[in-house]
Structure 1
Amino acid sequence: MSTSQESIGFVGVGLMGHGMAKNIVENGYALSVIGHRNREPVEDLVKRGATEAASLKDLGAKSSIVFICAPGSPQVEAIVRELKTGLKPGSIIVDCSTSDPTSTAKLSEQLAEADIAMADAPLGGTPVQAEEGKLSAMIGADDAVFERIRPVVEAWAANIVHIGGVGDGHRMKLLNNFLSLGYGAIYSEALALASKVGLSPTKFDSVIRGSRMDCGFYQTFMGYIIDGNREAHKFTLSNAFKDLRYLESMADAAGMVNPVGNAVKNLFAAAHAAGGDGPEDYVPMLPEYVGRLSGTEVKPVKPVK
């Protein structure tokens, strides 16, 4: 099947998925999507030319390549079970979630028995970059599958790396998130300690911003504390906690000690347990929870918007 004949299915048109799907359909691909609690992104995509499938089985039957953006491996596994009942031999499932690599490998083996290929293509970037088609993708797939999905991925990603075989994309994504969430944990503890000793977030930021310690993650992370912008870095504390548990599982399976990873995970676990488990509790709010653990207040400098 030539790339121009591919029919695309997309499951999970939320914060990231809507922009990805929008770029797929606007690049001329036949696109099927499935309903969601939030009807707005689905209806927008239908207006742009997508077709709404009645079920996951129906979506699978209409698609030669299906992209999935889901919260984690349990949801991906459930989606794949239903998709498999409709997919034809020769189809490909691409998991763009941040998933457990062990689960990814098992799904790949199960799908191979039905002559369905699996690839993992976790994302780097923000919902804004998804809308602009400027995400990053780290792809785990065999060479033939990678070459087949690459033109479609190019519709929504500006930076594509074929990192290795199935599961390697998810392994690399967990390492990437370990670094970013590790930064978040350090920033949060530093801000809480600064507050404890009488240094404001503004003073803290005036030293770090523009220094060698500055980076893109720091700037979006601080968008909440400095500017009161809830939308600056829309990655939930719950998803962060989940990813760090997957990292721990990967380290355990590899026989690797990961004391820093566990420390970072435990900080996010504490925030999650203290009430930071909602759909609008984002990673930049972590300093508030860390501050409360030590009886100090870390709050946005400007009114929250």
Structure 2
Amino acid sequence: MSEKPVIGFIGVGFMGHGMAKNLRLAGYQLWVRGRSNRTPVESLLALGAREAENPRQMAEMCDIIHLCLSNSPQIEAVLRGPDGILAGARPGLVVIDTSTANPGSTEALAAELAAVGGHFVDAPLGGTPVQAEAGQLSAMVGCEPEVFARIRPVIDCWAARVSHIGPVGSGHKMKLVMNFISLSYGALYSEAVVLGAKVGISPQTIHEVIGPSRMGCGFFETFMGYVVERNRDAHKFSIANAAKDMRYLNDMASDADMVNLMAGAAKHYYTHAIATGRGDDYVPMLSDIVGALNGVDMDAEVKKGRK
């Protein structure tokens, strides 16, 4: 790998655009590949990036390829397709998967890339699209120590906090544990604000009391940014992605022969939301869905709390 590797980036959505932008601003030659939304792609092209025709071409041109996709089937298709990364991989190619993915799939893809001389790294993210644009994400990295040393300067372009968790797959396992906590918070907060409304406590009062207490946190603040302020964009993480992550988490627990009642309960709220056509909504909107299950109009409750 040269001193300044050529970088590829597949998936320039909410998180990927900011990450790719920061790599380009750091002086890296950048190849990108987006999906149907051309706006982030055009933004990066205006900064001097080039657009790859397919993942195979990107693998032929790049030293390091980032993936920031929605799920393991998408990642598998990008690597294994007829014009996928594996079809164009050269010895020494590094693929950094920043998605939240199934660790079993990650380990299988790592073995396939290793067979052609490449290295697969899982580096899922902590943070928000705003932090991605600012280069202030966190990364949980799974790979061998020598590979980590080679890619650390690149990851530092988009992450303010980098943790080397262990071998390939461990980063995705850590991210699922993290999302188990946060998405269970989402279900818990939803129940709490609806219960409050049922017994005469406004969402504003819950925010006022819990926010500054030891139980307050950044997740609570962005969640309540929707509940109280009705700001749809306060916490832009879709219920569909939440359900996927909880499904992967429950699969991981099953593989580990673990009883996981809490994760199972939280998962069902998100799968219910998808079953009722709300998968494209963001996680804090689960509070409205839980409200409807209990005969509570949360929008009306917030309006009452403003009087």
Q: TM-score range by the shorter chain?
A: over 0.9
Paired residue for 1:259? 261
**Residue type of the partner of 1:268?**
Y
CA distance in 1, matches of 2:275, 2:288: 14
Whether the aligned pair in 1 keeps the contact of 2:125 and 2:140 (CA below 8 Å) is yes
Paired residue for 2:30? 31
Paired residue for 1:62? 61
Number of corresponding residues: 299
Q: What root-mean-square deviation, in Å, do the aligned CA atoms of Structure 1 and Structure 2 show?
A: 1.1
**Residue type of the partner of 1:220?**
T
Hey, which bits of structure 1, 4+ residues long, moved more than 3 A?
Answer: none
Whether the aligned pair in 2 keeps the contact of 1:63 and 1:87 (CA below 8 Å) is no
Q: CA deviation at 1:157?
A: 0.3
Whether the aligned pair in 2 keeps the contact of 1:192 and 1:297 (CA below 8 Å) is no
CA distance in 2, matches of 1:149, 1:27: 14
Whether the aligned pair in 1 keeps the contact of 2:89 and 2:116 (CA below 8 Å) is no
Whether the aligned pair in 1 keeps the contact of 2:11 and 2:68 (CA below 8 Å) is yes
1:294 to 2:294 alignment: yes
Whether the aligned pair in 2 keeps the contact of 1:134 and 1:157 (CA below 8 Å) is yes
Q: CA deviation at 1:56?
A: 1.4
**Residue type of the partner of 2:220?**
Y
Q: CA deviation at 1:283?
A: 0.3
Paired residue for 1:270? 272
* From 117, 123, 126, the counterpart of 1:124: 126
**Residue type of the partner of 1:222?**
M
Q: CA deviation at 1:5?
A: 3.0
CA distance in 2, matches of 1:209, 1:36: 38
Paired residue for 2:179? 177
Which ranges of structure 1 fall in alignment gaps of 5 or more residues? none
CA distance in 2, matches of 1:261, 1:36: 32
Q: CA deviation at 1:223?
A: 0.5
Q: Which secondary structure does the structure 2 equivalent of 1:10 belong to?
A: strand
Q: CA deviation at 1:36?
A: 2.1
CA distance in 2, matches of 1:298, 1:16: 29
Q: Which secondary structure does the structure 1 equivalent of 2:66 belong to?
A: strand
CA distance in 1, matches of 2:205, 2:109: 50
Q: Which secondary structure does the structure 2 equivalent of 1:213 belong to?
A: coil
Which ranges of structure 2 fall in alignment gaps of 5 or more residues? none
Q: Which secondary structure does the structure 1 equivalent of 2:13 belong to?
A: coil
Q: Which secondary structure does the structure 2 equivalent of 1:66 belong to?
A: strand
35 and 69 in structure 1: CA distance in 2 versus 1, 3 angstrom threshold: closer
Paired residue for 1:95? 97
TM-score of the superposition, structure 2-length normalised? 0.95
Paired residue for 2:8? 9
Whether the aligned pair in 2 keeps the contact of 1:35 and 1:53 (CA below 8 Å) is no
TM-score of the superposition, structure 1-length normalised? 0.96
Q: CA deviation at 1:291?
A: 1.0
Paired residue for 1:49? 48
Q: CA deviation at 1:198?
A: 2.1
Q: CA deviation at 1:35?
A: 3.8
CA distance in 2, matches of 1:5, 1:150: 12
CA distance in 2, matches of 1:211, 1:249: 34
